């Protein structure tokens, strides 16, 4: 008689019991992003969300919901995104993570999602809460703090608080230049700052062009790995370059992004 019982898998015995394997979840999700397979990514996070719920693993669930925030911004799914915001905030409070660095980073993600769907004012309180936590933890010169400033600046720009937004962008750019590991993100900050400058004064051509020129240098930095994150950065920059009538540069970025995804 053939034995149909599964043999013990050496890797499986290392799986956590009662909780999901967050590291494996993140690794798997990155695989979908490497191919820009957003449909597959949505199905994947749905599976892991159900797994976390079935186990009663609220910390694991928070990790999944945090990834859903960014994913649903990319798919422009407002209902799923707002549900993720509500659940993320609720879980952070329930788990007592409101004053933790990890909780602060998730609040930034939630606030950014609110801004992405036209609710920037609501997100400001989460940016402020996260900022207090990161400053209290001595993270003022970190990539995480720069990300907070960049996303807060976008919300302030949408609220026409241009001067406050400009201060945030300039501080974020300074931190990232000092850190030296995120040249693509510096380019995004400079392009977003160019939008702010033009929104505030549509005759400020000289400064806008200067910012775009410098952004182009950072986009093409030799320090920037040409990975899926870079492809995503390029896809974010291209529409702005089109907006500012730099169509050849925008097309070049789309072509590079396409090559990266196809190579993956």
Q: Is residue 99 part of a domain?
A: no
Q: Is residue 7 part of a domain?
A: no
pLDDT at residue number 8: 36
pLDDT at residue number 264: 82
Q: Is residue 173 part of a domain?
A: yes
pLDDT at residue number 7: 35
Is the Cα dihedral 241, 247, 248, 253 positive or negative? positive
Angle, helices 101-116 vs 78-94, to 10°: value is 160
- For tokens 């910390």, the residue is 59
Mean pLDDT by 10 residues, the chain (264 residues): 36 66 98 97 98 98 98 98 98 97 98 98 98 98 98 98 98 97 98 98 98 98 95 97 98 97 91
Q: Are 219 and 184 in contact (CB under 8 A)?
A: yes
142: its two tokens: 């970190």
Q: Is residue 75 part of a domain?
A: no
The whole-angstrom separation of Cα 29 and Cα 58 is 19
The whole-angstrom separation of Cα 205 and Cα 147 is 27
Q: How many C-beta atoms lie closer than 10 Å to residue 94's C-beta?
A: 11
Q: Are 207 and 197 in contact (CB under 8 A)?
A: yes
Name every residue whose Cβ is closer than 8 Å to that of residue 237 and which is 6 or more positions away in sequence.
187, 188, 191, 215, 219, 250, 253
Q: Is residue 149 part of a domain?
A: no
Instruction: Output b/e per residue, 105-136; b: 16+ Cβ within 10 A.
Output: bbbbbbbbbbbbbebbeebbebbebbbebbee
Q: How many C-beta atoms lie closer than 10 Å to residue 13's C-beta?
A: 8
Q: Are 34 and 264 in contact (CB under 8 A)?
A: yes
Q: Are 70 and 111 in contact (CB under 8 A)?
A: no
Is the Cα dihedral 44, 50, 56, 61 positive or negative? positive
Q: Is residue 250 part of a domain?
A: yes
122: its two tokens: 């609501």
Give the domain range for residue 251: 155-264
Q: Which CATH number fits the domain that encloses residue 255?
A: 1.25.40.10
The whole-angstrom separation of Cα 243 and Cα 212 is 12
Provide the domain count of the chain. Answer: 1
45: its two tokens: 């996070």
Q: Is residue 225 part of a domain?
A: yes
pTM above 0.75, yes or no: yes
- For tokens 């079935």, the residue is 54
The whole-angstrom separation of Cα 96 and Cα 215 is 40
Find, among 183, 86, 135, the residue nearest to 94 by Cα. Answer: 86
Q: Are 169 and 185 in contact (CB under 8 A)?
A: no
Q: Is residue 169 part of a domain?
A: yes
């Amino acid at each position: 008689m053939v034995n149909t019982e599964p043999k013990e898998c050496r890797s499986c015995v290392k799986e956590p019991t009662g909780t999901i394997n967050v590291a494996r979840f993140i690794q798997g999700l990155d695989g979908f992003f490497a191919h820009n397979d957003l449909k597959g990514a949505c199905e994947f996070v749905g599976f892991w969300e159900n797994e976390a719920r079935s186990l009663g693993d609220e910390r694991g669930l928070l990790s999944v919901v945090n990834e859903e925030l960014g994913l649903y911004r990319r798919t422009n799914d407002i209902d799923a995104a707002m549900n993720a915001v509500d659940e993320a905030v609720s879980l952070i409070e329930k788990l007592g993570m409101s004053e933790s660095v990890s909780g602060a980073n998730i609040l930034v993600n939630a606030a950014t999602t609110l801004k992405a769907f036209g609710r920037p004012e609501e997100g400001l309180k989460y940016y402020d809460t996260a900022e207090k936590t990161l400053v209290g933890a001595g993270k003022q010169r970190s990539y995480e703090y720069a990300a907070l400033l960049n996303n807060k600046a976008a919300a302030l720009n949408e609220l026409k608080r241009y001067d406050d937004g400009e201060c945030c962008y300039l501080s974020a750019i300074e931190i990232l230049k000092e850190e030296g590991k995120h040249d693509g993100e510096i380019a995004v900050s400079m392009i977003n700052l160019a939008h702010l400058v033009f929104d505030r004064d549509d005759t400020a051509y000289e400064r806008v062009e200067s910012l775009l020129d410098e952004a182009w240098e950072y986009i093409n930095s030799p320090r920037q790995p040409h990975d899926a994150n870079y492809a995503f950065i390029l896809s974010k920059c291209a529409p702005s370059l089109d907006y500012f009538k730099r169509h050849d540069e925008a097309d070049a970025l789309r072509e590079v992004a396409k090559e990266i995804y196809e190579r993956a």
